Amino acid sequence: MRANGAFSWLIKGLMVSALSGCTAEITGASDRDGSGPDGRRPGGEGGATQGCGEAALLPARLWRLTGPEYLASVQDLLGPEPLPEVDLEVDPVVDGFKNNAQALSVSTRMAGQLQQAASTLSVRGLAQFARYSACEASALADTACVQTFIAKFGARAYRRPLTADEVARYLVVYQAGVTDDNAANGARLVVQTVLQSPHFLYRSELGDASAAKQGVVQLNGFELASALSFALWGTPPDEALLSAAAAGQLSAAPELAAQTRRLLEDQRARPLISRFVAQWLSVQDAIVRSRDAVKYPEFDAVKGDLLTEFERLAQDAFLGPSATLGSVFFTSQSHLSPQLASFYGLQGAAAAGTPTSLAGTPRTGLLTSAALIASWSRDQDTSPMTRGRLFMDRVLCQDLPAPPAALDIPPVPVLEGATTRDRYAVHATIPGCAACHEKLDAVAFALENFDSAGRYRSTENGKPIDASGVITETSDADGPFKDMTELATRLSGSKDVRACLARQYVRFVGGSGRRGDNACMTERLVNAAASAGDSPRELIVSLVTSDFFRARATQ
């Protein structure tokens, strides 16, 4: 027999309600300065920090999974074997990050991609029947086994237990899919439907609206479990987190802090930290991998090593045994392959698994890594204005003036035998260009000792390179510097720069972009790290246990 009319009705209803009807935020919700979930003002045990503003809560919302989160969730559901290739739209970039909750929607094209992916992946889902049902794989026609499969597979996908009504509705989906007494088709349809459900594709941050106080609602235990796991691992919560949620333990800040520390100790935290740092510092894989083979013949052999070094530097700076916020900006060691050490002009790499010392070299860690420098450069030149703009925005959190309307910017002149700095100095004299140059040139040439592939050089066209500049508009890092080593040393001791890093991390964890910025909260995060030896982990714990992470505004 063929599937009855319920099949068409179910799929159509699913696609309309699950994909087109879900929005990133709940209508009427907006940023709000308000009371915390316990009725007190945000700011810790005794209320708002004296002399510091209140932390704005994010609105209650549904937050679509990013591409990597979707794939991680599917992998978690379907087992460790490699997944078939899945085609998804590229996630939009907002304020440098690819997980902005407002921007992550489902277009008509993506809805079709998700439907196709669900169909493809349902074959693997069917193979998980025994795992989730605790029955033999041949028991696909056994109603009790099917119900168990639905309940357990659905709970893993939804990241919370299914209600009895949800199990019953999925049983109807199963029955609609059974064709010619082939029960396997019914189970496959269940998997397809689950993988297109809004409860799988979106993370709920709605809390219990009926328990809202003064327009603020606490996230429930399962919402917190998902929020924590996706924030630190980029994956669905593990059984320990789900068990803590089911027991109501995550509503207590000490338990939430303990779970945060547990997740940070796990190796699964390392890839997501790398992803955050790459997005924060605009290190782009596609740009790193694109260099002129004639001008940089040795680049192709090391391009993979560049990204590996950057990832290890990021992970060590945040999660390593000696991690400090200062080490994000200046470190004395790195992980170099022999090929990359040669590319850097160093004598040799340490043995595999052993860090290579950077002492006495012009390398200072992340900010002088070839992966970053290549990403901040064009193929054929160092692009000082791009470097300056990114440095000011990503490292200093300083806004740039908008260029004059309808400004026709002439190209930087080509001057035979001149350095790049000389050429840009001429460009700065052109009317209309001076304002941007005045702001950017102060830091634009700090990396000029590194060419567009990230190799160190002391001269250009036979002339010595001037990498000096000046930092302004900070409270503790202002002043001239002679080169990148001196600048990185200054940055590593700056509380202002730490506050910028904290702000960028809040944007990433909150999926909020600049709308989540709050100087009061970032100050508290930096102070929490300082009280624990400048520890990045304690900054993260402080964020996770804050009202910003645990509560949402309902109006």
Q: Is residue 425 part of a domain?
A: yes
What are the angstrom distances between the C-alpha of 273 and each of 160, 198, 200, 268, 375?
26, 27, 24, 10, 18
Q: Is the pLDDT of residue 246 over 50?
A: yes
Closest to 393 in 3D by CA, of 427, 432, 435, 443: 443
Q: Is the pLDDT of residue 9 over 70?
A: no
Summarize the confidence of residues 411-418 as an average pLDDT: 85
Question: Each residue of 276-316: pLDDT tens digit?
Answer: 999 999 998 767 777 888 889 999 899 999 999 999 999 99
Question: Can you give the pLDDT at residue 404?
Answer: 67
Identify the band that residue 149 occupies on the pLDDT scale cut at 50, 70 and 90.
very high
Q: Is residue 555 part of a domain?
A: no
Question: Can you give the pLDDT at residue 534?
Answer: 98
Question: Can you give the pLDDT at residue 55?
Answer: 63
Q: Is residue 365 part of a domain?
A: no
Helices 269-280 and 495-510: angle between axes, nearest 10 degrees: 110
Q: Is the pLDDT of residue 12 over 80?
A: no
Give the range of the structural domain holding residue 464, as residue numbers without chain letter: 383-475
**Which domain-ending residue is among 444, 475, 506?**
475
**Which domain-ending residue is among 203, 233, 260?**
203
Q: Is residue 83 part of a domain?
A: yes
Q: Is the pLDDT of residue 259 over 80?
A: yes
Q: Is residue 356 part of a domain?
A: no
Q: Is residue 404 part of a domain?
A: yes
Contact 12, 194 (CB under 8 A): no
Domain count, the chain: 2
Q: Which of helix, strand or coil describes residue 513? A: helix
Q: Is residue 133 part of a domain?
A: yes
Identify the band that residue 24 occupies on the pLDDT scale cut at 50, 70 and 90.
low
Beta strands in 297-361 (DSSP E): 333-334, 356-357
Q: Is the pLDDT of residue 220 over 60?
A: yes
Question: Can you give the pLDDT at residue 436?
Answer: 78
Q: Which pTM was predicted?
A: 0.90
Q: Is residue 261 part of a domain?
A: no
Question: Each residue of 372-390: pLDDT tens digit?
Answer: 999 999 888 899 999 999 9
Lowest mean pLDDT, pick from 89-98, 125-134, 198-207, 511-520: 511-520
- C-alpha dihedral sign at 430, 434, 436, 439: positive
**Which domain-ending residue is among 431, 454, 475?**
475
